[in-house]
Amino acid sequence: MKKLIMLYRPIVESNFTQNVVLTGSVGTGKTATAKRFCMDLKDFAEKQQKAVDWVLVNCRQRNSESSAVLQIVNHFQPNFPDRGFSITEMLRILRKDLEKRKVHLVIVLDEADMLLKKAGSDIIYKLTRFGEEKIESKELVSLVLISQKNVFDILDASSASTFKRTNVIEFGKYTTEELRDIVSQRAELALKDDCIEEDSMDLIAEVSSEWGDARFAIEILEKAGMLADEEGAGKVSVENVRAAKAEAYSSVTESKLIGLDTHQKLALLGIARASRGKAYITTGEAESAYKVASEEYDEKPRAHTAFWGLMKDLDMLGVVSAKKSGPGISGKTTVITLLDIPAKVLEEKIRGMLNSNRR
Ligand SMILES: Nc1ncnc2c1ncn2[C@@H]1O[C@H](COP(=O)(O)OP(=O)(O)OP(=O)(O)O)[C@@H](O)[C@H]1O
Ligand SMILES: [Mg+2]
């Protein structure tokens, strides 16, 4: 929050524009921080008699340029027709709205990688340059780009130059202590007084610290609470937490895996096996593990180029991340890493799914 305030202050005080990237893994507070910050910035500006407004676009839902821009236009015109206008026209209309209201708009593109991968990074160019012929040297728009992955890998050169490397804020995984704080704050809001054991909160923080994911911690708290309710117990016990964790593991992964086809599953099974105890594997290792898995399930493995397609699909889905080189690996090879799912759990899940297909 402090860094954000430092970076965005000039848009209020000197009519500048600012573009910042927030990155970090799942549940590290990127969306929550961006929202809280935008609300605070709006208040801060108001106190200085400046108009700042903000809009958050969820690019997972709005993963085309036109639907993303439409949502921004909708911010000022809720009944704007959802078809019939080109992007250029919509941007012109947005510009008029901003000029009329003399307002600076902070546009938060949340999960931006979803949009950028599908539609390219043109949108960044359009949103940042459309205020270029500015009036009274007043900038109209600032951007906040949120992404789990390194967005600089996806951005083209001209869009990347919009974001200075110094304007990247990294959200580290929450530590056990931080998660403990979040859990106890949530418990206070969600539960009646004295309805959770201190040990239970410690355990929730502990089990979610592997990923440093606050969302996971909150989900376990909720599930454990429901389990305690079902039992008619007066307090959330550590056993409730353990049971909640077991349930959460399966639901997190299943929702992502359910839509995969057989070869995507086989590729993922290979990656899971090759990834045991390793942070990164090479594509070569992934491909040979995929071939072994295919043979095991009597499937003809796809050719090399098609295997790449599978990697892309899995990367898109957010179960693996494929990127150029990683720590400890020299040269320009592509490495693959499993995201938020432990390799062993993933392996068991996919095998279960593949086996039930066979039956
Ligand atoms: N510091 C915090 N204090 C209290 N609650 C928090 C904190 N950080 C995150 N949370 C809560 O944890 C959950 C996950 O946070 P958030 O949605 O911001 O994560 P994220 O980084 O955007 O994750 P993703 O990459 O999956 O979108 C939310 O319910 C949020 O309110
Ligand atoms: Mg988020």
Q: Which two tokens stand for residue 164?
A: 């200075």
Average pLDDT over residues 3-15: 92
Contact 105, 55 (CB under 8 A): yes
Tens digit of each residue's pLDDT (9 = 90 or more) over 264-308: 999 999 999 998 877 788 999 999 999 999 999 999 999 999 999
CA-nearest residue, atom 25 of ligand 1: 26
Residue pair 133/59 in contact (Cβ under 8 Å)? The answer is no
d(CA 123, CA 129): 10
**Ligand minimally distant from the alpha carbon of residue 28:** 1
Q: How confident is the model at residue 143 (pLDDT cuts 50, 70, 90)?
A: very high
Q: What is the pLDDT of residue 165?
A: 81
Tokens of 174: 């929450």
- What pLDDT, in 10s, does the model give residues 12-42? 998 889 999 999 988 999 999 999 999 999 9
Atom of ligand 1 nearest to the CA of 111: 27
What does the pLDDT average to over 300-323?
Answer: 87
CA-proximal residue: ligand 1, atom 4 (nearest): 182
* 286 CA to centre of ligand 1 in angstroms: 32
Please check whether residue 151 is in contact with residue 114, taking contact to mean a CB–CB distance below 8 angstroms. Answer: no
Kindly identify the ligand whose nearest atom is closest to the C-alpha of 182.
1
* Cα angle for residues 135, 136, 137 (degrees, 5° grid): 85
Q: In 14-55, which residue ranges form alpha helices assigned H by DSSP?
A: 30-47
Does the beta carbon of 35 lie inside 6 Å of ligand 1? Answer: no
| Ligand 1 close to Cβ of residue 28 (< 6 A) | yes
Instruction: Please report the pLDDT score of residue 20 as a whole number.
Output: 95
Query: What is the distance in A from the centroid of ligand 2 to the CA of 161?
Result: 24
pLDDT of residue 177: 96
Nearest bound ligand to the CA of residue 252: 1
Distances (CA, A) of 330 to 50, 163, 209, 278, 326: 51, 27, 30, 16, 8
Which has the higher per-residue pLDDT, 358 or 30? Answer: 30
Other CB atoms within a 10 A radius of the CB of residue 318 amount to: 17
Q: Is 218 a pocket residue for ligand 1 (Cβ < 6 Å)? A: yes
Computed on alpha carbons and rounded to an integer, the radius of gyration of the chain in Å comes to 23
CA of 124 to the centre of ligand 2 (A): 19
% of the chain with per-residue pLDDT over 70 = 92
Alpha-carbon separation of residue 298 from 263, 271, 305, 307, 355 (angstroms): 11, 18, 20, 17, 12
Segment 115-136 mean pLDDT? 78
Strand stretches in the chain, DSSP E: 19-24, 52-58, 104-110, 141-147, 168-171, 281-282, 320-324, 334-338
Asked if 305 and 314 count as a contact pair (C-beta separation under 8 A), the reply is no
Pocket lining: 27 vs ligand 1, CB cutoff 6 Å = yes
Position 72 pLDDT exceeds 80: yes
For residue 305, the CA-to-ligand 1 centroid distance in Å is: 37
The CA distance from 177 to 161, in Å, is 37
Q: Give 180's pLDDT tier (boundaries 50, 70, 90).
A: very high
What is the tens place of the pLDDT at every residue in 237-265?
999 998 888 787 766 667 778 888 999 99
- Per-residue pLDDT band for 337 (boundaries 50, 70, 90) equals confident
Token duo for residue 277 = 């105890």
Closest Cα partner for 101 from 46, 51, 144, 138?
A: 51
Give the Å distances, CA to CA, from 172 to 22, 177, 182, 212.
Answer: 11, 13, 15, 8
Q: Is the CB of 222 under 6 A from ligand 1?
A: no
Q: Is the CB of 214 under 6 A from ligand 1?
A: yes
96 or 210, which is more confident? 96
Q: Is 243 in the pocket of ligand 1 (CB under 6 A)?
A: no
- Does ligand 1 lie within 6 Å of residue 212's CB atom? no
Mean pLDDT of the chain: 88
pTM: 0.74
Please state the atom number of ligand 1 nearest to the C-alpha of residue 35: 18
